Structure 1
Amino acid sequence: MNSLTLAERVAVTDKVDYLILKYLIEKREKFEYVPQSVLKENLSLTEREAQISLLRLIKNGAVTKKRIRGEDSFSITFTGLDIVATKSLYSKKVIKSLGITIGEGKESRVMFGYDHEDNTLAIKYHRIGRKSFKKRISNFPSKNWVSMTLENAKREYEALQCVKNNMGYVPTPITFTTNAVAMEYFEGTPLYRAELSDPEKVLDAILGTMRIAYVYCKGLTHGDLSQFNVLVSKDEDVRVIDWPQATRDEDVLIGDVTRILSFFEKEYSLERDLEEVLDYVKGYS
């Protein structure tokens, strides 16, 4: 089943498969790998039901198997998380179908989604692996990779929601579930590839969004702001994207402001005083 799309993988996942995946997520802090006997007992499955479902989930790439203390045990994969999230988006009627992948990195995958009015959405699936964020693991209340992934999705959704509710230039968030955030699809070019006719307007929009995040969202800052996570439309409207590392940290705020000012100074000879900009972002001026 390696050649199947995510939508096809969701389609071949039945009710028992889904129950198993949900249980693996629920017990993520207790077990990295859940023994088959525990799955059978807690989900009231027969031996045959468990075997058929687990074999299908393995072929579907949704779980991995490891022999532990003489018993087959199972752990959910990123694909398994994606399946659970997508099924939830279907059941909540957020989307009626999935499209192609439009972006993929080490820690997320973004796909087109289509709602029941045929509007195009962006569905972002978070994927924080066991080695990701090694240097920032203290930011997470849990060191379990599944929990870190779920927390990342929640953090991004909450940041987007607060900033958008206060009129910041971010994609409109719709909902989050499991490791997925559904949001407005914004057609734009990454800032580092854009050729701006009015760079001052674009910089003001970015800094205004940072100010909203800090002043109205209790000291929030993006956490990884740069020319790589700002989109600019043909009309030079702006969306600041990728907020999973949003945090409340003064040093991180300074880094965010410094990077974006450095880009505009280098590319457009647009100079701003760092201290004055920080005062503006913090609402002091």
Structure 2
Amino acid sequence: MDAVRTGGLGVLPLRDKTAVVIGGSSGIGAATVRRLAEHGASVVVGFHSGKDRAADLVAQLPGSGHQCVPMRIEDSSQLEDVARLVDREYGRCDVLVNSAGVTRKVPHADLRSLDDELFDALMRVNVRGPFAATRAFAPLLEKAGDAIVVNVSSLSGTTATGSNVAYCAAKAALDNLTMSLARVLGPAVRVIGVAPAAVDTGFVPGRDRQAILDQAGSTPLRVVVDPDDVAVSIIGAVTSFRISTGTTFLVDGGKHL
């Protein structure tokens, strides 16, 4: 059994740390990349199809040691290759952010339109992908000794009222996965989820800005959630929530109330 550590851990500094953000070329991922770099981390920006976006983002980051790398979260072998690259070039991974995700708007009552292919694709990207990424990077995270995995989830995993039935189920599964991984990877690695409500990113095809405004108007804080609002919450989880693991924090303006 590992020795019990004392408390008083304070704020985790990110200077000279290495962070990997999967799905880092746009939206919440890109905002998180910017915040991690501002805090002094060297950031590996994972992209699927947004190579130019990722390269432009890296060119704008403060500090040094940043790069963009293809990381298709459905491709487990590629994730293993990237983990080996990070080991060779950085020798450590202190922060892994699983921000890649996908969905499509399908009315919940329209069961026929949610066919097997779409259902499986949503599970593969939103659940298996974060698991495979964590599995690939686990040795590096454990070697760092005070590392963290952040899974970008959704309020949909709690309320089951998101873009479609399968997406809600996938995010609920991701929240459960966060708990399981936290239990097995501690004490060297914390695993935390951050679950926003609808974010103003254009992430859900078919959902216009008015739908975002209407949702924000129904919350106690009446604020439209911006990608940087989620990124700041992720930074808080990384640097400050150091006695928290296996939990998913809502970033929803009180929408769940």
Q: TM-score if structure 2 supplies the norm length?
A: 0.27
Structure having the higher strand fraction is: 1
- Select the structure with the greater relative contact order (CA < 8 A; seq sep ≥ 6): 2
Q: TM-score if structure 1 supplies the norm length?
A: 0.25
